[in-house]
Amino acid sequence: MCPKTIFHIDMNAFFASCEQARNPELKQVPLIVGGDPETRRGIVLAASYDAKAYGVKTTMLIHEAMRLCPKGKVIAASHDLYVEMSQKVMSIFDDYTPIKQQVSIDEAFLDMTGTEHLFGEPKVAAKRIQDDILKQLDLPCSVGIANNKLLAKMASEYKKPMGITTLFEEGFRERIWPLEVGELYGIGKKTVPKLMAMGIKTIGDLANAKVNILVDAFGYKTGMYMHESANGIGTDVVDGSMEQPKSIGNEMTYSKDILEMALIREEVLLLADRVGYRLRRKMLSGKTVSVKLKYSDFSVMTRSKTIEAPTHHTEIIYETAMALIRQAWTKKPLRLLGVTVSGFEASDYRQVSLFDMEMTTEKAEVDHMLDEIRNKYGYSSIKRATLLDRKPPK
């Protein structure tokens, strides 16, 4: 079987680039998106590349960003604009291949296998896609080209903005193995010190480590994944189906009875946080929030509420779920709690402006800040302060 041709396309400084495309005058100054422009409170959601050159980074406090970049301009985020532009970008991808896997609002994998007779060799096709997005939307992007998704993802990080990079297995050792182990996609910040303590400092060290040592230290699944990734082994399956689920939910079963409302609130926040994150990842919002309660006698109670506008925000999900539980809980010992959001409509995510009217900018930014970090370092890489000691639901 011939190797596949996989593209990973990553929009460059997406939120900032969208703002600059809408208002070209913003290209004249270092641009910082996020927080309150008047009070300069809040966090950085995105920064243009000239702002990044001053050391401005995502999730940095606005006042710290302005200290580093005093000539920068701070503007509030326009999430409805970003969703609209994302949909236009994905539409351009559809012109090149029907096999597309969108993995976030600003990136996607494309299976370009066999399209050479239509669009030219991979680098030529990548340049065509890049040019189309720039001409039609005034947005820059970087393209990674490889035979699997792991290498394509790593290749797209090589040059930003407007880079096109190939990374195939035959050149993997020379280009990737000398890099620090933390540069390998999928290796979180918490994992790096553990690997360093084991004498594994580079990706090459990880590739040449004994598998049984990694499995013993990190478990079978994680240990095997790290070893295979360090050797350039990854899946080439681009999941183009993306069938929309009817609901998204999580539940937790407890080994001990839950009797205190304070603990219930903590558990429901944990569940709502996970559900909200999954909704935003899939670009979905729902109007119906449901809760499930299973008591120690194995009886089950469910309650649902349909809210005015579709939501994907953790706090709205949490507050609605807690209102249902306060009404439904009979004070009997609980052994299971569940939170689910359903009632999806076509492109509900585009109605994000409705959510922002319901929530303060600061609360909305918390969701997006957490998402940015989790998308890069994994879901468990950051937690809300009240949930520091809690394990997330699967």
Which residues are known to be catalytic?
107
**Three-state SS for 341?**
strand
Distance CA(107)–CA(118), nearest Å, equals: 23
Phi, psi at residue 71, to the nearest 5°?
-90, 0
Q: Which two tokens stand for residue 140?
A: 């820059």
Q: Within its chain, how far is the Cα of 173 from the centroid?
A: 28
Beta carbons of 145 and 122 less than 8 angstroms apart: yes
Distance CA(391)–CA(394), nearest Å, equals: 9
Class of residue 51 by CB neighbours under 10 A (exposed 0-12, middle 13-18, buried 19+)? buried
Residue showing tokens 């919002």: 285
Task: Find residue 393's DSSP bridge partners.
Answer: none
Give the DSSP letter of residue 26.
Answer: G
200-to-154, 218, 253 alpha-carbon distances in Å: 20, 14, 37
Q: Which long-range contacts (CB under 8 A, 24 or more apart) does 326-329 make?
A: 327/303, 328/291, 328/293, 328/301, 328/303, 329/264, 329/293
Distance CA(189)–CA(178), nearest Å, equals: 18
Contacts of 6 (CB under 8 A, 6+ apart): 109, 110, 111, 112, 113, 145, 146, 147, 148, 149, 151, 152, 236, 238
Distance CA(58)–CA(371), nearest Å, equals: 11
Class of residue 135 by CB neighbours under 10 A (exposed 0-12, middle 13-18, buried 19+)? exposed
